[in-house]
């Protein structure tokens, strides 16, 4: 037996595959298989209740194009992503730059910045609900004392989406701060010293040395945050439930609503696949642009 | 070295495979095991577990196991379990799902079962029986019953010099009182309504619609009719309070009701008995909902009864599950559960028990009014599988009017259109 194992074991490939197989099997069952099955589901009519799932071809996809709520959901998702991604990156970069120096208690500040990532989405939602409450919220109390009228915020169809943008930027800042801090510490101090001797101002040094060297971090954050923004769900579920008047109904929230409230799983699967294709395309474009402009090995 | 690594990997794989295969063993002897999924926690959970222990002790041939599962998510979990052939034997399910779960093949149709005289099916309130019935199927046995009534803060009424709600109140009286109880400088509102546009919003509007003499659908369930004169009248009342008087706090997040009530910021809620236990800081009263002056609809309210639903996992388990549900919903256990938890009794005979009502009222003032109010439940929401779509359209219409974005007639007309499309298609 040991001799046999020895002989088989000599094949590195085999032992490699054996080692990864538990993980591969799990990923296959819980990751890849559902992906394939939901593609099949998107061509069927399924209410999740009855075992019969008649094949309807492209019907679900055709229905998507004619669904005004879906179009609305796309608009909200785009507006959200367009504000959330740059917002989180700029705030994160600003905070990270401010922290990338030796000040006393810096680790306290760094922990504080990252701690928002440890707050569960539901708690975060409840905190913001009360902070921004029209009648009893702290934000309105502050506005009132500055002489500004109370705002409805999450209770207003015109403001709710922007409150969610602000809330999620707050929640994700810690993440981009950590990524940027790591990247900033990889910027060689000698470059800055040399440039300073040549008379470059702090701003010029930041623009011409730091920013280009942050390329990989930028790319990573843009891709990662975009994917997360397009899949926004928890924050909406925890605060506005897609309202008021569908003002915060984003694609994944609408998808969930169709599948699990309206029992139209086939249609929801088609929506998920439409979103998947969009994410794939956007990510590909982002990579292409980034390869041209950034130093990515 | 490589050989040893491979050996370890093989062991890991084998462990995984064996663990995955380990769950399938079934024994043919011993007690019949049935699994019950429920959403009871805290006091309710303790009382419920106590009942199960009692049953298990008295029935050594059956072993009932209970599993907590949040009520909101139980449908998704049950659907997954049904697909995986591991459905629970009994599950607590919201009544609003009935038309949809009636389509699950493994669901046990109880219509032949509960007709046996010892089930005393007619002893359940009519609204409960209707909510458990979908076409010719009975999808479950009533597990919980509730209804909506006015809960008001006695002190705020006294402070504002307003007479407390009476059974003869009309909606005009209600509106006038709410206006007097509203004080923007104190952040105080006369009334609060859940305004997220979900079914929670809708079921506050529906009893008003019924009281005004209208209905959600036509008698044959083919067309939506809530844009009737009665529907507009009911929604106009909400519009006047929300937009004109600004006496109605719109809880768009649907989280704040009991908290604001308990902190004295809201003078009235229209809510069910489940909120009473959160109102520990105020002295409250309970009164039936107002009527529309001159309407034949008179006093009504709405009930959202939930059910114990049985799934078929083979004859032996099915029978054991039916026996257990029968025991659990028998008058004796209904009484014990109401006494322990303060939940309204699901049976008429228990609801008439003056001694029980007195005890419930002592524990949680106002409970007795809610029990009596069960007699004002005259209609139930339509048992059609398109109801979620109808509810969504109606909910959006109600919210858009209350936010001042739309007029009642126009909003209801477009919601009726959406509802009719849902009813026609599928």
Alpha-carbon distance A135 to nearest alpha carbon in chain B (angstroms):
6
CATH superfamily of B32-139+304-376: Periplasmic binding protein-like II (3.40.190.10)
Angle, vertex CA A88, rays to CA A84 and CA A93, nearest 5: 155
Confidence band of B331 (pLDDT split at 50, 70, 90): very high
A5 touches chain B (CB under 8 A): yes
Q: What is the DSSP letter of B107?
A: B
Mean pLDDT estimate for chain B: 89
Residue from A17, A21, A144, A155 whose CB has the most chain B CBs within 10 Å, to mutate: A155
| Most confident range, picked from A14-23, A94-103, A256-265, B227-236 | B227-236
Q: Which residues contact B274 (CB under 8 A, 6 or more apart)?
A: B146
B101 touches chain A (CB under 8 A): yes
pLDDT digits (tens, 9 = 90+) for A278-295: 889 988 988 888 777 655
pLDDT digits (tens, 9 = 90+) for B339-389: 988 899 999 999 999 999 999 999 889 999 999 999 899 888 998 988 989
The answer to whether B290 and B174 have CB atoms below 8 angstroms apart is yes
Contact (CB<8Å) B100/A154: no
Percent of the residues in chain B that have a pLDDT greater than 90, as a whole number: 68
Residue A223, CA atoms < 13 Å, CB-side half-sphere: 17
| Residue B41 reports pLDDT greater than 90 | no
Enumerate the H helices of B22-140 as residue ranges. 42-58, 74-83, 98-101, 111-114, 126-131
Alpha-carbon distance B80 to nearest alpha carbon in chain A (angstroms):
9
Greater model confidence, B205 or B83: B205
Torsion sign, CA atoms B364, B52, B312, B84: positive
* pTM to 2 decimal places: 0.81
Burial B307-325 (b: 16+ CB within 10 A, else e): bbbbbbbeeebbebbbebb
Alpha-carbon distance B358 to nearest alpha carbon in chain A (angstroms):
38
The answer to whether A47 and B104 have CB atoms below 8 angstroms apart is no
Confidence band of A90 (pLDDT split at 50, 70, 90): very high
pLDDT at A8: 54
Name the residue among A280, A232, A269, A243 with its Cα closest to residue A77.
A232
Confidence band of B188 (pLDDT split at 50, 70, 90): very high
Confidence band of A3 (pLDDT split at 50, 70, 90): low
Contact (CB<8Å) B405/A245: yes
Task: Compute the residue count for chain A.
Answer: 297
Rounded distance between C-alpha atoms, residue A83 and residue A77, angstroms: 10
| Chain A environment of B400 (Cβ under 8 Å) | 245
Contact (CB<8Å) A260/B75: yes
CATH number for B149-302+383-424: choose from 3.90.220.20, 3.40.190.10, 3.30.479.30, 1.10.150.120. Answer: 3.40.190.10
Would the CATH topology of B32-139+304-376 be identical to that of B149-302+383-424?
yes
Q: CB-CB: which of B104, B389, B403 is closest to A49?
A: B104
The whole-number average pLDDT for the span A252-278 is 90
Pairing of strands B90-93, B133-134: unpaired
pLDDT at B19: 47
ipTM above 0.90, yes or no: no
The answer to whether B256 and B271 have CB atoms below 8 angstroms apart is no
- Beta bridge partner(s), residue B62: B32
Closest Cα in chain A to B82: A49
Contact (CB<8Å) A262/B256: no
Domains along the sequence of chain A with CATH: 62-293 (1.10.3720.10)
Rounded distance between C-alpha atoms, residue B370 and residue B376, angstroms: 10
The answer to whether B70 and B94 have CB atoms below 8 angstroms apart is no
pLDDT at B28: 53
Greater model confidence, B250 or A1: B250
| Chain B environment of A21 (Cβ under 8 Å) | 9, 13
Alpha-carbon distance B270 to nearest alpha carbon in chain A (angstroms):
20
Q: What does the domain layout of chain B look like in residue ranges?
A: 32-139+304-376, 149-302+383-424
Rounded distance between C-alpha atoms, residue A249 and residue A78, angstroms: 12
The whole-number average pLDDT for the span B225-234 is 95
| Chain B environment of A6 (Cβ under 8 Å) | 2-3
Tell me the two tokens of residue B240: 């006047």
Rounded distance between C-alpha atoms, residue A175 and residue A155, angstroms: 28
The answer to whether B231 and B209 have CB atoms below 8 angstroms apart is yes
Alpha-carbon distance A18 to nearest alpha carbon in chain B (angstroms):
6
Residue A293, number of CB atoms within 10 A of its CB: 12
The whole-number average pLDDT for the span B3-18 is 47
Contact (CB<8Å) A245/B250: no
pLDDT digits (tens, 9 = 90+) for A124-150: 998 998 899 888 889 988 998 998 888
């Amino acid at each position: 037996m040991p001799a046999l194992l020895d002989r088989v074991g000599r094949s590195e490939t085999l032992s490699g595959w054996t080692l990864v197989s538990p993980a591969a099997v799990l990923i296959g069952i819980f990751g890849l298989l559902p992906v394939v099955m939901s593609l099949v589901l998107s061509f069927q009519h399924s209410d999740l209740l009855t075992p019969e799932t008649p094949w309807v071809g492209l019907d679900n996809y055709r229905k998507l194009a004619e669904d005004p709520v879906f179009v609305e959901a796309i608009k909200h998702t785009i507006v959200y992503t367009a504000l959330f991604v740059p917002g989180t990156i700029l705030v994160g970069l600003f905070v990270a730059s401010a922290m990338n120096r030796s000040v006393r208690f810096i680790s306290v500040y760094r922990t504080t910045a990252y701690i928002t990532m440890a707050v569960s989405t539901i708690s975060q939602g409840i905190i913001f609900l009360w902070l921004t409450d029209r009648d009893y919220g702290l934000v309105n109390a502050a506005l009132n004392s500055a002489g500004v009228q109370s705002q409805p915020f999450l209770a207003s169809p015109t403001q709710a989406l922007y409150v969610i943008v602000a809330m999620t930027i707050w929640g994700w800042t810690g993440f981009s701060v950590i990524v940027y801090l790591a990247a900033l510490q990889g910027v060689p101090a000698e470059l800055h010293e040399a440039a300073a001797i040549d008379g470059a101002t702090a701003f010029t040094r930041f623009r011409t040395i730091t920013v280009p060297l942050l390329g990989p971090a930028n790319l990573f954050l843009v891709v990662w945050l975009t994917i997360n923004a397009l899949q926004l769900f928890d924050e909406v579920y925890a605060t506005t439930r897609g309202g008021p008047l569908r003002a915060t109904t984003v694609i994944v929230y609408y998808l969930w609503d169709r599948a699990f409230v309206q029992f139209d799983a086939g249609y929801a699967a088609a929506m998920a696949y439409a979103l998947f294709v969009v994410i794939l395309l956007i990510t590909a474009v982002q990579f292409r642009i980034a390869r041209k402009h950034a130093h990515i090995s | 070295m490589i050989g040893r690594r491979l050996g370890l990997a093989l062991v890991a794989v084998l462990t995984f495979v064996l663990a995955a295969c380990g769950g399938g063993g079934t024994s043919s002897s011993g007690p019949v095991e049935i699994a019950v999924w429920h959403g009871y926690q805290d006091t309710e959970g303790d009382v419920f577990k106590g009942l199960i222990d009692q049953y298990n002790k008295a029935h050594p041939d059956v072993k009932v196991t209970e599993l907590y599962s949040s009520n909101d998510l139980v449908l998704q979990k049950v659907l997954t379990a049904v697909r995986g052939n591991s459905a629970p034997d009994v599950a607590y399910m919201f009544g609003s799902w009935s038309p949809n779960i009636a389509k699950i093949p493994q669901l046990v149709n109880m219509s032949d079962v509960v007709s046996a005289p010892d089930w005393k099916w007619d002893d359940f309130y009519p609204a409960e029986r209707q909510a458990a019935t979908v076409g010719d199927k009975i999808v479950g046995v009533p597990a919980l019953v509730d209804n909506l009534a006015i809960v008001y803060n006695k002190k705020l009424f006294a402070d504002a010099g307003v007479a407390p709600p009476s059974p003869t109140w009309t909606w005009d009286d209600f509106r006038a009182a709410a206006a007097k109880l509203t004080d923007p400088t104190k952040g105080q509102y006369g009334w609060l309504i859940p305004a997220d546009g979900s079914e929670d919003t809708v079921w506050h509007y529906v009893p008003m619609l019924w009281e005004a003499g209208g209905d959600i659908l036509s008698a044959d369930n083919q067309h939506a009719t809530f844009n009737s004169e009665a529907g507009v009248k009911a929604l106009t009342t909400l519009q006047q309070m929300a937009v004109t008087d600004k006496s109605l706090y719109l809880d768009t997040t649907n989280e704040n009701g009991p908290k604001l009530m308990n902190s004295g910021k809201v003078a009235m809620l229209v809510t069910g008995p489940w909120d009473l236990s959160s109102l520990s800081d105020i002295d409250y009263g309970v009164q039936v909902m107002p009527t529309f002056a001159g309407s034949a609809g008179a006093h009504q309210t709405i009930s959202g009864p939930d059910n114990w639903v049985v799934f078929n996992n083979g004859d032996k388990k099915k029978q054991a599950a039916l026996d257990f549900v029968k025991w659990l919903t028998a008058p004796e256990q209904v009484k014990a559960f109401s006494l322990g938890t303060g939940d309204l009794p699901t049976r008429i005979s228990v609801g008439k028990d003056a001694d029980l009502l007195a005890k419930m009222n002592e524990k949680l003032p106002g409970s007795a009014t809610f029990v009596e109010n069960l007699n004002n439940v005259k209609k139930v929401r339509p048992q059609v599988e398109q109801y979620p779509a109808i509810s969504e359209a109606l909910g959006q219409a109600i919210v858009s009017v209350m936010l001042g974005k739309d007029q009642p007639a126009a909003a209801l007309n477009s919601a009726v259109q959406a509802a009719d499309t849902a009813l026609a298609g599928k």
